[in-house]
Amino acid sequence: MIKKTPKQSTLQGIKSLFVGLRVTGHNFVMPQITTHYPRQEVDNLVTYRGHIELVPKEDDPMTSKCILCGQCAKACPSNCIELVIRKEEVEPPPAAEAQPDADKEEAPPKPAPKKKVKRILEAFILDYNLCSLCGQCVQTCPVDSLEFSTNSYLAGFTREEFVFELLERMRKKYKASSSG
């Protein structure tokens, strides 16, 4: 639909100035719509998506749901997630003694069961200086062990303050909530 721009006569133009003044006058007596931070705060911060936090297990709030797959660190476009993993050797459960069979003595002996390695999450380091808040880590997590925080007033003086250890934060948060 190709239209023509409306043309204006001088009289219409002068009238438009008064119409504009009427709009301004109307808005002058309307209530204020701005928020005076910090005396007031806006009320829509619940949906704000801040840096990530670890989600604790339901039955054990001191350990996280994380299964140490490292998908989040791989998915991150800015490489800001680092998982510190400690490997611990666990003694294998003693295998049930098989009854020695005289007929099958030439069969090769069973190989000794491998020692199991248990991987434990020591620290979950987030370098928030590099994060671009894209949310790829939360989307790729297979067990939903990551969530967004809603702290929009986060501030600090040095870069080091924005390198978070999320496991410690999660535990502190639980301790604070259980003691208080």
Q: Given the rule CB under 8 A, which residues bind other proteins?
A: 1-5, 8, 12-14, 16-17, 19-20, 22-24, 27, 33, 44, 47-49, 75-77, 132-136, 139-140, 148
Q: What are phi and psi of 44, to 5 degrees?
A: -110, 30
What CA–CA distance (Å, rounded) separates 172 from 170?
6
What CA–CA distance (Å, rounded) separates 26 from 4?
31
CA distances from 57 to 72, 95, 140, 149, 171 (A): 18, 32, 18, 17, 11
Query: Taking the complex as a whole, how short is the minimal distance between the CB of residue 54 and other proteins, in angstroms?
Result: 18
Query: Taking the complex as a whole, how short is the minimal distance between the CB of residue 148 and other proteins, in angstroms?
Result: 7
Taking the least distance from each CB to other proteins, the nearer of 24 and 99 is: 24
Taking the least distance from each CB to other proteins, the nearer of 23 and 112 is: 23
What CA–CA distance (Å, rounded) separates 12 from 27?
23
Taking the least distance from each CB to other proteins, the nearer of 16 and 84 is: 16
Query: Taking the complex as a whole, how short is the minimal distance between the CB of residue 20 and other proteins, in angstroms?
Result: 5
Taking the least distance from each CB to other proteins, the nearer of 20 and 70 is: 20
Q: Which residues pair with 52 in a beta bridge?
A: 148
Query: Taking the complex as a whole, how short is the minimal distance between the CB of residue 103 and other proteins, in angstroms?
Result: 48
